[in-house]
Every structure is written in C-alpha cells, then in structure tokens.
Amino acid sequence: MLFSSPEFIYLFLPIVLTGFFWLAKWSHRIAATWLLATSLFFYGWWNPAYLGLLIGSICFNYGMGLVLARESTRPEASRRRFLLAFGVCANLALLGYFKYANFFLDSANSALGTEWHAGEIILPLGISFFTFTQIAFLVDAWRGLAREFNFIHYGLFVTYFPHLIAGPVLHHKEMMPQFGQRETYRLNWENLSVGLTLFAIGLFKKLVLADGVAPYASPVFDAAGVGADLTFLEAWGGVLAYTLQLYFDFSGYSDMAIGASRMFGVRLPLNFNSPYQALNIVDFWRRWHMTLSRFLRDYLYFALGGNRHGKARRYVNLMATMLLGGLWHGAGWTFVIWGGLHGLYLVVNHAWSGIKVTLGLPGGRWWTRLLAWSTTFLAVVIAWVFFRAESVDAALSLLTSMAGGHGVAVPGSWLTDSHWRVGWLLHTLGIQIGEAGKHVPDPWAWAWIATLLLIAARMPNSQRLLADFRPALDFVEDAGRRVAWRFSLSPVWAALTFILLVAALTRGEAGSEFLYFQF
C-alpha cells in the first residue's frame, strides 16, 4: 500500500488514526495492539505470503534480545559473543538468501561457466530495513543498552507502518519509550496539524515534482540499457532528471513518513536534510539517508576500527563500509561500483581536508563555496548513473555520452532564422544543429529541471519550515539560517496545506511506487 494511494489516504490512515485514539480512551495496551495489527495489515497488503516471514523475524529477534540482555550481566564474554554472532548471522542469512542469492549465483556462473540456479526469488518488501533495525537492536541488547522488552512495543518498533517499507532505520531507544508514554495516546490537534502539513508537502513532492520529472529520466536509461548511443543533451537531460526524481521521491517519502507518524504523536528520526545543498561528500552523507549512514557508521565502520588505527586503515574502513553500503542498496555490480565511488569520494574528501589545513588554503568565500558545491554535486550525479543504470555497460555508455563522446547537437527546432548568431557560435564550438536524439527534453522541460534543481539546492526544506514544532526527533536548526515564513497554526498555512493536497491528489496520473521500495 503506497502512502500516495487512495486506499491509504482515504481509508487506511483515517481508520487507523480514529481507531487508535478511540481505543486509547479505554486502554493504552489495546491501542498499541491495534496499531501493531494494522501495521501488519499494511505490510500484508503487498503480499500476505510474506507476513509470516516478518512475524517470524520479530519473534526470533525479540527472543534473542531477551537472551542477550540477560547474558550481558554475566561474565562469560565468549558465550555472549557467540550468541550475538548467531543472531546477526541468522538475520544476514535471511537477507542474503532473498536479496543476494541469485546475484552471487549469477556472478559465480559467469566466472566459472556453471549453470547454478536458485529459482525465482521474490524480494520481500522492506526486508533490508526491518533486518537492519533488528540487528541494531541485538547489538544494543548485547551491549546492555536495550532495557525495555514489552513485546507489543517491540513489535511496533519493527513494524510501525510509517517506517516499515522504506525507513528510516530505527534505534529501539528512539521509539520504544515513545510507545510507553501517556502523551502518545492523547489526541493532540497540534500533532495532527503539523503531521498533516508535513504529509501534504511530501505528497506534493512525490506526485507533482518527482513523478512530474520522471518521464524525462526513464526513456534515457532504458535506451542506454538496450545499447543506444545517446547524444550529449539526451544523456544530461535524463541523468539530471533522475537525480531530481530520486531526490524529491525520497524526500517526499521521508516527509510523509514523519508526518503520518506525527499524527499519532510519535516522532521519527530525521532521514533527509537537503543533501543537494552539501558542500562536500562527507556533508552529503550526513544529509542523505541519515539513519542508514548512522547505522553503517555505528555498527560497521566503528566495528572495523574507524579512524583509530591511522590514516591508511581509516581509508580502508571507509571503502569497505561504502562498498557494503552500495551492496545493501541492491544486488548488482552497478550498486557495488556506486558504493565504491562514494568510498573513493570520502577518502579524497578526508585527504583534501588535511591538505587544505596544511597549506592554509582559503575557505568560506562565495566562490570557494560555489566551487565546493559544484564539485560535490557533479560527483554525486556521476555516481547516480551507476545507481540507476541497468548494467555497467549502460552506465559507461551514458557517461561517455555525458562527456560528448557520442556527439553534441542542438535540435534545429530550437533555432529560427532570427537566431543566426547563436547558430554561428554553436558551429564555431563544434556543436551540430539538427538531429540531437528523440529523448532531448524540450526548452520547457529544461526550465522545469532547472527550477527543481534551484529548489533542491537553495530552498529551505520542510524541517526548517516547521522547525518551531520539531516534527522530527533530531533536527537541529542553524540559528543563522532561520526561515522568515515559518509554519504556524494559522488560516494561511491551513490554506497552503489544502492547496498542496488538492494539487497532488488531482494530478490525474496514478502515482508510481517510491524508488526506495526496491531496496
């Protein structure tokens, strides 16, 4: 069930919300059970056959968490490590079978000339998210940090529908205490207003902005996937369109998840904080999929040694972490390369930071900030080509096109006799006028892409607009970047919220799935 679907907006969310607060008048435990049951229904709507898999995973990890918490008070360290390793390996085995079995078999077949097959395996929706969430829980139970073991609250911690399908990746300490607070079970009109506004912003981002630019992206990547040689403008138009589609799609989902949860009085952690405004790649990963970055840092990078064993080891740990982060996103060599590129970017970023300090190079000036933003954005765009492409060959072909290797041409329809000076300049620069490819966005589409890029790179995000009401758990506003036109409980903002909802819900076309559902 999609957040943007009529079933969710007109039926599921109102029924669940009404039932939750009505039952809370009689019993908080019954209300929490209702929310757990409806979250399981929400998951089962996709494929009831995998509901048993989710419930089995919950029961197994809850039991392992109890055992690890009890063992954390005992001195036998080797026994505790064995139990933790068993629990983590069981989770990774489940994830590995469903997500990576065919990938590894295909890779082995290509290398060895064999024909091993595991049959058709359907990837359970959200398995990466609920697996990582529970691995974090087991590690914290082993460390003695997990102290609450109410089964209903634990089930909600894993299955809570606003985060179940595409994140954020949660920590038990963030969520389970909220399910035990009395305030959570009291209807609060401020929470409803803030949550509905945030949900409306996210819905607008998804249905109007992300889905609106998607038609310029998919045909280009599809053409590259079948071996077509695209021209310069075709390649850049498609790649920039996908860069912005992914941004507004994921940002929209994150806003809707936080907004829907806030209606229930529960705050989710921030997962998205204007990553295309980052001035370096380290800052990008502090802003993009923030809870996954936190998980990889806390449970993988630090476990490998972090930066405690010198620069060389630090760089190896960064590369290993990002390679595994890339593989987490998808079972394919394109995702491995994407992760490897970001690992390389992080290594270069850390090395360059040290060089800047040593040489005393200037920073903070407008032109250095512009150069830093441009370099960071270009690096991210190049990596997105591998993230989206159907194969490594398709990605390399697209990058060749973006470099002008398959021709640079401007459609003749863009120029008239009155533009003869422009035509002369284009010819002088070696740019042809004529057939530039059928996938070149028209001038209005380029204006739309430029507008979306300006919004992503300069406009305040939803968390800054609603900063006075702290919609997410961990958003900290920079006092020097306060927004003048902030959200308030006023008729003006009520009207704006209504306009956003109407604009999104009357768009006409059926909304597509969120891009991160595939992970």
Q: How many helices (H) and strands (E) does the chain have?
A: 23, 2
Find out whether 251 and 204 touch, Cβ atoms under 8 Å: no
- What φ, ψ does residue 177 adopt, rounded to 5°? -60, -35
Distance (Å, whole) CA 466 – CA 469? 6
β 409-411/432-434 pair status: parallel
Examine the residue annotation and report whether 329 is marked as an active-site residue of this protein. yes
Q: Please state the separation of Cα 86 from the chain's center in Å.
A: 29
Find out whether 439 and 237 touch, Cβ atoms under 8 Å: yes
3-state secondary structure 446-510: HHHHHHHHHHHHHCCCHHHHCHHHCCCCCCCCCHHHCCCCCCCCCHHHHHHHHHHHHHHHCCCCC
Q: How large is the angle between the packed helices 77-112 and 51-71, nearest 10 degrees?
A: 140
Closest CA to 381 of 259, 250, 276: 276
- Looking up tokens 């914290």 gives 140
Please give the helix or strand (H or E) that residue 372 lies within, else none.
Answer: helix 366-388
Find the catalytic residue in 171, 329, 406, 439: 329
Distance (Å, whole) CA 47 – CA 277? 38
Cis peptide preceding 48, ω within 30 of 0: no
For residue 285, give every residue at least 6 positions away whose Cβ sits within 8 Å of its Cβ, in sequence order, or none.
293, 342, 346
Closest CA to 210 of 3, 469, 494: 3
Distance (Å, whole) CA 415 – CA 36? 60
Q: How large is the angle between the packed helices 392-402 and 366-388, nearest 10 degrees?
A: 140
Q: Where are the alpha helices (DSSP H) in 77-171?
A: 77-112, 127-142, 151-159, 161-164
Catalytic residues: 329
